[in-house]
Amino acid sequence: MAKQLIAKSPTAAKPSTKPKLTFDPSVFLKTDGPGRTVGKYRKDQPIFSQGAAADVLFYIVSGTVKIVVHSEQGKEAVIALLGQDDFFGEGCLAGQSHRLSAATAITDSEILRITKPVALKTLREQPAFSEVFVSHILARTIRVEADLIDQLFNSSEKRLARALLLLANFGNDGKPQRVIAKVSQEMLADMIGTTRSRVSHFMNKFRKMGFIDYNGHLVIHSSLLNVVLHDQPHIAGVKSVEGKGTLKGL
């Protein structure tokens, strides 16, 4: 009798034991990788110029960045001072082909450059990154709206007080906060739409009243809140909020 051949069943593939990598936005935004590079910028070093090609999204790992607009007559308007964990240059993701503003580092800074294709791909494929980015866009929209209301209804003294609090990222702990970036009175005047002499007058007033200190570095005290909250303008149908919450979005 011929020996019966018994076919061996194919060996089942062993399941992969390699752990699946989890996307971490904090790692993505602070490290080099495909389509992204962390660069170092010196104080006063330009990052991009007005009219330059818009093809990169930027993220501030550390430092402070000034966003400005130049008129044809050579005038400069400071439209934003951004700090750690802020995005900028996001107009390229919405079809902007050229920069409508210029960006300059006002302190030594580390900034991540993300190419437009990589930024769009990551937004589509990584919900965690999308959540971080959308939160930034919403906060920026609220900030711009608040800046407009500030310009329309508040005095230059209150606008200066608010700008100083924002520069110090003032929170709720009531502790004096140091302004990291050295901001000139000319820059403050551009930010709040007044003259340098008026800024100088109010800065001296704030110092005499104990709202701020200056000994090589500008320090903001919680008492400066009184200038912002006193006689705060009310918008019809909106209740004034003076309770807890950081002033970063005022």
Q: What is the pTM of this model?
A: 0.71
In tens, the pLDDT along 174-193 reads 455 666 567 888 888 888 88
Closest CA to 217 of 168, 169, 179: 179
Helix (H, G, I), strand (E, B) or coil at 22: coil
* CA 90/CA 80 separation, integer angstroms: 14
Q: Which residues contact 145 (CB under 8 A, 6 or more apart)?
A: none
Q: Average model confidence (pLDDT) for the chain?
A: 81
| Amino acid 248: pLDDT | 33
What confidence score (pLDDT) does residue 246 get? 32
pLDDT recorded at residue 51 = 95
Look at phi and psi of residue 74 and say left if phi exceeds 0, alpha if psi is from -120 to 50, else beta. Answer: left
Q: What is the pLDDT of residues 70-121, one digit of tens each?
A: 888 888 888 888 888 999 999 999 989 999 999 999 889 999 999 999 999 9
What domains are there in the chain, each with its CATH number? 25-147 (2.60.120.10), 155-233 (1.10.10.10)
Residues in the chain: 250
